[in-house]
Amino acid sequence: MLRDFQQELENGVFQAWDEGAINVMMVGPTGSGKTVTLGDIIMKVDQPTCAIAHRQELVTQLALALNREKVPHGIIAPKATVQEIIAVEMETHEYSCFNPRAACRVAGVDTLIKRDASDRWFQQVLLGIIDEGHHVLRNNKWGRAFGFLSNARGLFTTAHAFRADGAGLGRNAETADGLVDRLVVGPCGRNLINRGFLTDYRLVCPPSHINLERVKLSTTGDFNHKDLARAVHEDGAIVGDVVREYLRLAGGKRGISFAVDLASAAELADAYNKAGVPAAVITGETHVKVRSNLMKKFRNGQLLQLVSVDVLGEGVDVPAVEVISMARPTASFQLYAQQFGRALRLMLEGLTLPSGHAVADVWHLLTDEQRLYYISISKKPKAIIIDHVGNWARFFPDHGFVDSPQAYILNRRERKTRQKEFDPDFIPQRSCLFCFLTYESVEPVCPHCGQAHIPQGRSKPAQVDGDLFELAPEILAAMRGERDKLDQATGISWNKNDVVANSIAKANRDRQAAQVGLRNAMALWAGWQKHLGRTDAEGYRRFFYKFGVDAMTAQALSTVDASNLESRIRGELHQHNIVGMAV
């Protein structure tokens, strides 16, 4: 049975098809059960289907996912590979739904593009599915492979509907580069965390010493791999940092460490093993049976660390992951979010209801409060994300956290979409220099360890995040001076004629009136913040991040700017039912 949000997502897909869309992109965060929804859609469509995956290991994962949902499926791959996947299905689920004549077949993209496009089977396929559908562009291999399915409507699944290179996923030839006609977007990760369908997390961010200044971006939008590997290897401390922080924060927990290349992965796995942490390297070249054996050992705790090179980031369900260690910088939010999301799936093993029934079996029937309670007493009340390479800081200004709501468009991105433009409640975060945990920049001290934030500089408002109590005295003096000028009576030189004098006087009165209205609105805002239990300092910071100007500078704005700011403040207050005139 689908969960309510999965059913809404499925309904959205069918509605889009009914309304004339041919290719639909289904968007849901990592761990939201897109494959479960996909399996249900395949069963309901009940037509010849081709599900295309990215790489050979993802073909295995997609076959396993369909097998878990008991969807009969064929596998288009070399005979030896097919036999290995069937063996993995039997080992994992104790059954296999493999059927070479099944209406649904799984194939790797590289396998399909090598086949004869005139093959009659291609014309029989009426539903084409592409896992990790953000890869699809008209003119790349995924687009060409999908083009073989000339009679099929499409369903592309992804965690986030954008690409690092800014290419548009839509079909419009002038403004986009892909094949998608309609987006169907499910709830964001934070919504699912708050409802108890994903695990919450701690984000720990030790200082990164990797110098990325000489690392160029590739045509994919991510860092050039050769440049990136060199930069990571030049940082001789990162391996020790990764192992040390894992032992300090998550010793004994099962984790995935993402490395930049095979050499760094081998070095990291060796360091883990020497520290008494059983670890193994897993890559895209790891044999199917070897991979299955590693995953089995990982699930039962014989291995505590899988050190990954370009795998386990997408298309894999590993509920046993409790901690993620990021040792690979990336410029792709999609990749970052997928790696991050590996640890957000629930761990409900061993939890039972008073009746004796397994909690996991009735999870969808519980209330949000009940689910959150059981998560709190589970083996993984919170995942731990240790970001050693500054990925969170790289993406936060544009996307917020990985579980924040995102703005998706099908056209090319001419410019980055700032998170604040999409999320009006966006508050920047900072990483504590003492415990490395993240928290809202409006907080004067770290709520985790109690250490006060030490600003990097005190000469500019932008460097102190709008906190007037941290501004240098000369800056405050300059701001006060501007406000004092505004509040003074109109000073008109004796040699101005009456028309000019009256015009100047009126402009000044208008500005003063606008400032009176603004200051009343600001006072009401401040009173609301105090009512919420916030200090003056925190209120000032929140004002700065909400409206883009510190409170003192606001009181020196022009007539038009002051009026506009007042309208924005009162609009925000009205949304929270805060009305009245401050005194």
Nearest to 112 by CA among 181, 40, 36, 59: 59
What is the Cα–Cα distance from 69 to 66, expressed in whole angstroms? 5
More confident residue, 40 or 461: 40
pLDDT of residue 460: 35
Angle at Cα 271 formed by Cα 265 and Cα 275, nearest 5°? 145
Q: How many residues does the chain have?
A: 583
The arrangement of strands across the sheet holding 49-53 comes to 74-76, 104-108, 49-53, 127-130, 153-158, 23-27, 182-185
Most confident stretch, 272-281, 410-419, 498-507, 526-535 = 272-281
What is the Cα–Cα distance from 512 to 559, expressed in whole angstroms? 8
The least confident of 5-9, 460-464, 528-532 is: 460-464
For residue 42, give both structure tokens.
């395949």
Q: Any bridge partners for residue 447, and if so which?
A: none
- Please state whether beta strands 23-27 and 104-108 pair in parallel, antiparallel, or not at all (unpaired): unpaired
Q: What band does 477 get if pLDDT is binned at 50, 70 and 90?
A: very low
More confident residue, 111 or 257: 257
Residue 19 has pLDDT above 50, yes or no: yes
Mean pLDDT computed over 545-564: 76
CATH topology of domain 195-404: Rossmann fold (3.40.50)
Question: In 10 A of CB 423, how many CB atoms?
Answer: 16
- Same fold: 4-188 with 195-404: yes
Question: In 10 A of CB 150, how many CB atoms?
Answer: 11
Tell me: the pLDDT tens digits for 74-104?
998 888 888 888 988 898 899 999 998 888 8
pLDDT of residue 466: 37
- Please state whether beta strands 429-431 and 200-204 pair in parallel, antiparallel, or not at all (unpaired): unpaired
DSSP 528-562: HHHHTT--HHHHHHHHHHHHSS-HHHHTT--HHHH
Residue that the structure tokens 């059981």 belong to: 374
Question: Percentage of the chain surpassing pLDDT 90?
Answer: 38
Mean pLDDT computed over 373-396: 91
Mean pLDDT computed over 272-296: 87
Tell me: the pLDDT tens digits for 494-542?
344 555 456 555 766 777 788 888 888 888 888 888 888 887 777 877 8
Query: What residue ranges do the domains of the chain occupy?
Result: 4-188, 195-404, 461-575
Q: For the domain 4-188, what is the CATH superfamily, name and number?
A: Tandem AAA-ATPase domain (3.40.50.10810)
Residue 15 has pLDDT above 80, yes or no: yes
pLDDT of residue 257: 96
What is this structure's pTM?
A: 0.72
